[in-house]
Structure 1
Amino acid sequence: MKKIFLAFATVLLVMCMSIQSQAQLKRFSIGPFVEAGFPVGDFGDTHNTGYGIGLGADVKLVAGLTAVGSVSYFRFGGKSGSTNGVSYDYKDLNVVPIRLGLRYNLISILYVKVEGGTVQYTGKYYNGLGGLVAPGVGIRLLGLDVEAKYEAWFKDGTRGFFGLKAGYNF
């Protein structure tokens, strides 16, 4: 867990230093976001709605195309229930997704985005490293960024969810 926080702090420091060097170009932005995930499929049978918080950044490449990246912390609470008189509890799922991708502006405020990356499971009962893919569509207006996406995590099966993400970029 200490390694994850150290990595998060390092990425944050590098991004903040980049802001100063690129602020005059207005090609770089960074900002916090919150997100909610609504599990689907087998993942929806075992876990409740998840919530996350993170930090995202982007760098404009060419007209309409932007490189994006983010680091966040996500938590899905486990469900409990019983089948044929046998009780069961699914453990909470705590993860740190690190995403990199591309965003393309269809029109001035509407964009499509695809991201890939890794997801670090940090829970007591389930840990390790997996992969992720996250296509989405969103609106960005004057720094306010709202996105709808589907995100899938791959490790010992697939855990997928539909997500809503809202943030502000400086």
Structure 2
Amino acid sequence: MYITCLLLAVLLGASSNSQAQLKRFSIGPYVEAGFPVGDLSDTHNTGIGAGLNADIKLIAGFGVTGSVGYMRFPGKKGVSISDGQGNTISTDYSALQAIPVRVGVKYKFPFPLLYVKVEGGVANRVGKDNNGAPVIFAPGIGIRFLGLDVEAKYEGWYKDGTAGFFGLKAGYNF
């Protein structure tokens, strides 16, 4: 959590210096939907999230990015599983909730609008299912037009296996 506060303080501090330099810094809210794949799709439904994203433009199309948000995947009810002795039982899964903190690099192609991005970080779990923070790896591709930012990505949370999802993220950067 201290890292998150430090990251936001640095980004906000850079904002005041960068506004006079052709808007090299931007910050804004986002919403996202996560469509589970693999084992996560067996136990959880489509997730939704929201948060705050920041970008700092560097040179030659490169930049750094960071975000902090909240993501929730509702648990499935009445899922049939084997008890290991040939019997089938029904179980309910609780919601998977996390505060993902991501930082990464971004490359904007010379032709307008299109970029690729790779982020990493941690997904700080929330609630009674708080058994540690999985590591995040999230490559994506997106378009940005007049502050509107839309990205398609795959995000994997790695800890004792993988909880992965395809995501669609939309935000506005000021």
Provide the TM-score with structure 1 as the length reference. Answer: 0.89
Tell me, yes or no, if structure 1 residue 102 matches structure 2 residue 105. yes
Tell me, yes or no, if structure 1 residue 36 matches structure 2 residue 44. no
Equivalent residue for 2:17? Answer: 21
Q: 1:23 to 1:82 in 2, by over 3 A?
A: closer
Alignment of 1:36-55 (within 5 A): 36-55=33-52
Computing the radius of gyration from Cα coordinates, the structure with the larger value is 2
Which has a greater percent of strand?
1
Tell me, yes or no, if structure 1 residue 89 matches structure 2 residue 92. yes
Query: Does the Cα contact within 8 Å between 1:93 and 1:126 map onto a contact in 2?
Result: no
Amino acid across the alignment from 1:35: E
**Aligned partner of residue 39 in structure 2, secondary structure:** helix
Query: 2:24, 2:159 → 1: CA distance?
Result: 35
Tell me, yes or no, if structure 1 residue 160 matches structure 2 residue 164. yes
**Aligned partner of residue 62 in structure 1, secondary structure:** coil
Amino acid across the alignment from 1:15: L
Alpha-carbon shift at residue 14 of structure 1 (Å): 4.6
Q: 1:115 to 1:9 in 2, by over 3 A?
A: closer
Aligned length, in residue pairs: 166
Amino acid across the alignment from 1:168: Y
Amino acid across the alignment from 2:17: S
Alpha-carbon shift at residue 12 of structure 1 (Å): 4.3
Query: 1:10, 1:52 → 2: CA distance?
Result: 22
Alpha-carbon shift at residue 87 of structure 1 (Å): 2.2
The runs of at least 4 consecutive aligned structure 1 residues that moved more than 4 Å come to: 6-14
Amino acid across the alignment from 1:75: R
Identity of aligned residues (%): 57
Alpha-carbon shift at residue 18 of structure 1 (Å): 3.0
Equivalent residue for 2:116? Answer: 112
Query: Does the Cα contact within 8 Å between 1:120 and 1:127 map onto a contact in 2?
Result: no
Q: In structure 2, which of residues 145, 154, 160 is the aligned counterpart of residue 150 of structure 1?
A: 154
Which has a greater percent of helix?
1
Alpha-carbon shift at residue 139 of structure 1 (Å): 0.4
Q: CA RMSD for the aligned pairs?
A: 1.8
Amino acid across the alignment from 1:116: G
